[in-house]
Amino acid sequence: MSAPNGMAVFATMLPTLLLLVLAAVAGLLGWLRPGLPPSFHRWLGAEALVGAGAAALVAFHGVALTNGVGLAAYAAAVIADHFGTFAVLLLCATGLVAVLTSGAVQERLGSRLPAYHALVLTATAGGTVLAVQAEMGMLIVGLGIVVISLVGIVAVEKTAEAPGLAAFRSLVSAGVALALMLYGLAIVYGATGTTDLAAVRGQFVHSAPLEGLGLALTLLGLAYLVGAPPLHHWMLQVSAASTGAVAGAVVSLAVAAGGIALVRVMVSGFSATMHPWVVLAGVLGAAACLYPALLSVVAGSVRRLIGLGACLQGGLLLSALVGSGLGADGQSAGGVMAMLFALVVFVLAIQASFQAVGRLEADGIGGNMVGVRGLARRSPMTAALLSLGLAGLAGLPPLAGFLARILIASSAVAGGYAWVAVASVAASAIYAVTVLRWIAAAYVEDDELPVVAPAVPQLAGLVGAACAVFGVVATLVAGPLLYAADGAAFFLR
- In the complex, the residues that contact another protein under the rule CB under 8 A are 327-329, 331-334, 337-338, 376, 391, 396-398, 402-403, 406-407, 409-411, 413-414, 418, 421-422, 425-426, 429, 432-433, 436-437, 439-440, 443-445, 478-480, 482-483, 485-486
Minimum CB distance to another protein, residue 436 (Å): 5
Neighbours of 24 (CB within 10 A): 13
Q: Measured from the CB atom, is 228 or 407 closer to another protein?
A: 407
Name the amino acid, one letter, at 87.
A
| Closest approach of another protein to the CB of residue 307, in Å | 22
Toward another protein, which CB reaches closer, 198 or 422?
A: 422
Shortest distance (Å) from residue 410 CB to another protein: 5
Q: What is the largest CA-CA distance in the chain?
A: 69
Q: CB-wise, 237 or 332, nearer to another protein?
A: 332
CA distance 98 to 41: 13
Nearer to another protein, 85 or 411 (CB): 411
Cα separation, 482 vs 487, whole angstroms: 8
φ, ψ at 120 (rounded to 5°): -60, -40
Question: Does residue 142 contact residue 126 with C-beta atoms inside 8 Å?
Answer: yes
- For another protein, the closer CB: 329 or 447: 329
Strands 78-81 vs 70-73: parallel, antiparallel or unpaired: antiparallel
Q: Which residue in 476, 452, 298, 302 sits closest to 386, CA to CA? A: 302
Q: Which of 399, 292, 415 is nearest to 349 (CA)?
A: 399
Query: Min. distance of Cβ 338 from another protein in angstroms?
Result: 7
Contacts made by residues 462-466, CB under 8 angstroms, sequence distance 24+: 463/97, 463/100, 463/101, 463/355, 464/101, 464/351, 464/352, 464/355, 464/356, 464/358, 464/359, 464/385, 465/381, 465/385
| Cβ closest to another protein, residue 107 vs residue 329 | 329
Q: Which is nearer to another protein, 72 or 489 (CB)?
A: 489
Q: Whole-angstrom Cα distance, residue 72 to residue 69? A: 10
Give me the least distance between CB of 81 and another protein, in Å please: 17
22-to-58, 92, 95, 154, 167 alpha-carbon distances in Å: 19, 13, 13, 21, 24
- Closer residue to another protein (CB): 162 or 440: 440
Residue 268 or 411 with smaller CB distance to another protein: 411
Q: Which is nearer to another protein, 17 or 473 (CB)?
A: 473
Task: Quote the CA–CA distance of 258 and 256 in Å, as a whole number.
Answer: 6
Helix (H), strand (E) counts: the chain: 21, 2
Give the residue with the Cβ less far from another protein, 197 or 376: 376
Give the whole-angstrom CA distance, residue 333 versus residue 410.
8
Q: What is the dihedral of CA 156, 158, 161, 164, to 10 degrees?
A: 40
Q: Which is nearer to another protein, 164 or 398 (CB)?
A: 398
Report which secondary-structure segment, H or E, holds 296: helix 277-296
Evaluated on CA atoms 122, 216, 182, 293, the torsion sign reads positive
Task: Please provide the DSSP assignment of 116-160 as one string.
Answer: HHHHHHHHHHHHHHHHHB-BHHHHHHHHHHHHHHHHHHHHT-TTS
CA distance 335 to 342: 10
Toward another protein, which CB reaches closer, 11 or 267? 267
For 276, the 3-state DSSP assignment is coil
d(CA 330, CA 228): 30
The whole-angstrom separation of Cα 375 and Cα 379 is: 6
Number of neighbours of residue 158 by Cβ within 10 angstroms = 12
